[in-house]
Structure 1
Amino acid sequence: MIETPGLLLTVLAFALAISPLVFVHEMGHYLAGRLFGVKADVFSIGFGREIAGFTDRRGTRWKIGWLPLGGYVKFAGDMNPASQPDTTWLSLPPDERARTFQAKPVWQRAIIVAAGPAINFVAAILILAGFALAYGEAVIPPVVGEVMPGSAAAATTLRPGDRVTAIDARDVTDFADIARYVQIRAGERVTITAERDGRPFTTATTVGVEQQRDRFGNAYRIGRLGLRGNGAVDIRPVSVFRAPVVAVQRTGEIVRMMVETLGQVISGRRSVKELGGPVSIAKVSGEQMTLGLDAFVFFVALVSINLGFINLLPVPMLDGGHLFFYAIEAVRRRPLDPGAQEWAFRGGMIAILALMLFVTFNDLGNLGLWKNIASLIG
């Protein structure tokens, strides 16, 4: 039986997942700006018309917009999407101009911009460190316990007792490394390096494809080798000092999977239909909430990593786009022509809006909207 969280819980879970992360992201920009003496004119959670807000003693307007799909910090002197000064900025009194974003050297502007994505990664690392402290670290040796009949692994020379050491030249130190690698490579050819009685050997196979459906009706295409471990699982307690190390390792693994999955989409090995947007995030938020607090908090950590990663992509309008232009400015010792930057940021905005429309179209399709409309028309 397919379960649904319900619209109210889905909306609530989405707000609880996204709003704090947006606040944390923008607070990273704000605090870095404060560190370098930049005045913030506006700190907004959400876009569009203000529904609530106040102005603090520093002159910053803190507000909530009616469309809760993001947020922004507007620094003094940051007068257009390309962050280029105009004649209004040039006419400011010297002391006031010194507190503007554009008056700061390029390295300070870069830190202010990078602080948003960075704090999203920090937030995720803190959450994952908490999980490591609470549940410990599971260590499963990459030793084959069973080769499932008819599986992809059955077509290899692997046998029970073999120790897998690498897949496609990527080191394997834990059985979970095998699962993480193959689950996003359904149908792809892989080379496995293993040891038997201390002697190394290699074998190859095509990763199997398994169609899964969860309790909410979501379908997944997962890669499977068909190996089982030897049953040895060591749950090791994690100290306060070890927890951040484990969390950073887990974050690195998640980012690596994001990069590889994105590369598969770009290269055509993975369907663009798998790309999701705000509607998908909202749907999954509600589903994870019904699974319990632990599942929901872990999901928030994943979204935080996604938010940090996406914002670092070198696309104009995103933080990574700004950092890309600052890197060019640092090398050239002068910024690019304002007109060129303006056109680049306009192009970036069009690309992002087009992507948002596309992923929303995908999301609505995954919810069955287009099929229902087609059936009604038919």
Structure 2
Amino acid sequence: MDVLLLGSGGREHALAWKLAQSPDLGTLHAAPGNPGIAEHAEIVPLDMDDIDAVAAFCRDRAIGLVVIGPEAPLVAGLADRLEADGVLVFGPSALAARLEGSKGFTKDLCSLHDIPTARYKRFNNAPDARSYIEDRGCPIVVKADGLAAGKGVTIAETKEDAIAAIDACFAGEFGGAGAELVIEEFLEGEEASLFCVCDGSRALLFGTAQDHKRVFDGDRGPNTGGMGAYSPAIGLSEAQVKRAMREIVEPTMRGMAEAGSPFKGVLYAGLILTEDGPKLIEYNVRFGDPECQVLMMRLKSDLLPILIAAAKGDLSGIEPEWSSERALTVVMASKGYPGAYDKATEIAHLPEAGAKARIFHAGTGLRDGRLVATGGRVLNVTASGETVREAARIAYDLVDRVEWENGFWRSDIGHRAIMREDG
């Protein structure tokens, strides 16, 4: 089967690497891709935001499956258009993608179906939102309603911080994503990520991970798209996973089906582990980045049949096999990220990764034959090991051998898990 993979980040490089191992794969096409993805796929000059162009490519090349990596094309309705043309798609419809495309929609769904989450209120203007902050106090969480590339969430410790976040949203800092916002209570607890592959009626557990959103060591500084991750999430017990599936994921699947927008694709539940049990922070409707990288390192099964089964709406008989090893990824980012940063800085050397590691390209390009950084998050140095500590050692050894003067990274990815392992 010929497959089209859409996206250009570390998530898509990890998916390309895993898909390329399938004996059922014909030609893997990728757009827009990156130099790392080009090691496994034929890069095609295709704008994934041009729905008509993607549809025409699929028709002309008889593409058997389209795998949509990022969230924006899903929210824009690319899956709907392709499915209307008879193309098999791994990814949800636009209506189902509202689970990520609108935080307010998801909170309302939780309220309707008694899904445990933080108390909240929605706003479409700054004065009402400011008044609410004055009444509720802090800490409190302010979220742009729409897609903001992981940067539309503020955990406000003071009223001044909260009001600044409100004003930033309504002043257009996040574009249309900030036209509305959600303000919710701050919940105490450790965060973890739970992934399911879904076929419209059922959700198949597809691993857990723990992301590191803050930019600096010790979980300090502003939120980012993710500075590293490890899998499985050691702090998420088997009992908590079962409870999250029963109380959060399964009611969501039923609710979406009842609303006429059954969910197919990856459902990524961001959880917070409170004293009252797991609660939903938010949903994403695609593989996480950088969580996908550690999941692909641990997945022993052929990925392609799993994606096909979900896209066809029948996951019965699918049982993914996972390595017992831990996997960990360190994000190497451009200095200044998540703020302003220099682009097209040269990456002078990437070392050989070895048998238990990979370097996934997240924001790279070629300029006059030189590998350069083109984004904020640039490389995902990923390794596996018997323990998180071992995986971290292998990954950080590889990081130290990357020659890139403009790069920086956190030095403590997996620190919670390592503390647990050490007792």
TM-score by length of 1: 0.29
Higher normalized contact order (CA 8 Å, seq sep 6+, divided by chain length): 1
**Structure with higher helix content:** 1
